[in-house]
Amino acid sequence: MDKVQRMTREHGVVIFSKSTCCLCYAVSILFQDLGVIPYVYEIDHDPQGKEVENALMRMGCNNALLPLVFIGGKLVGSTNEVMSLHLKGSLIQLIKPYMSV
C-alpha cells in the first residue's frame, strides 16, 4: 500500500503493468505520443510485485484489468477509462502538468 502510494505520488503518470501484457504496452505508447513519459511499473519484474498486486486489489482495483493508470496520485482506471477520457478530450487536461517539453 505504501509502495503504491509512494510511486503514485512521486510520478505524475504511473502505469501498473506486466511486461507480457501488450495492452499495457499500448497504453504506455499512447501517453508517450501525447508527450508524457509514464512511470511504468512491471509487476512481474519486481520481487515485491505480488505485494503491490495485493495492495492494488485492496484499493478496489480488479487485477485482471491491467494496465492500471494513476494520474496525479489518483486512480484513473484501466484501458477503457483512459480511451474514453482521451476521446472526450479530458485526458490531455489531466496530463498537462506532467508533459515533458
Partner 1 sequence: MNSSTYTQFVASKRMGICDPIQQIGMWGDFKGSSFPDTLILEVENCLESEMPIMEKRLDNETEEPSHVTVGRSNIYEPETSKRIDKMNRRLAQNREAARKSRLRKKAYVQQLENSKLKLLQLEQELERARQQGLYVGGGLDTSQIGCSGTANSEIATFEMEYGHWVEEQDRQTDDLKSALNSQIGEIEMRILVEGCLNHYFDLFRLKATAANTDVLYLMSGTWKASAERFFLWIGGFRPSELLKVLTPHVEPLTEQQVQEVCNLTQSCQQAEDALSQGLVKLHQILAEAVAAGTLGDGIILPQMTATIEKLEALVRFVNQADHLRQETLLQMSCILSVQQSAQGLLALGDYFKRLRSLSSLWSSRTSEPA
Question: Which residues contact partner 1 (rule: CB under 8 A)?
Answer: 20-23, 25-27, 29-30, 33-34, 79-80, 83-84, 86-89, 91
Name the strand (E) or helix (H) holding 74: strand 74-77
Compute the distance between CA of residue 96 and CA of residue 6 in angstroms, rounded to an integer: 21
Q: Return the number of the residue (4 or 85) whose C-beta is nearest partner 1.
A: 85
Among residues 13, 8, 1, 9, which one has the least CA distance to residue 92? 13
Least distance (Å) between residue 85 CB and partner 1: 10
> Backbone phi, then psi, for 59, in 5-degree steps?
-75, 0
Least distance (Å) between residue 98 CB and partner 1: 17
> Backbone phi, then psi, for 68, in 5-degree steps?
-110, 125
Q: Return the number of the residue (7 or 86) whose C-beta is nearest partner 1.
A: 86
User: What are the start-end ranges of the E strands in 11-94?
Assistant: 13-17, 39-42, 68-71, 74-77
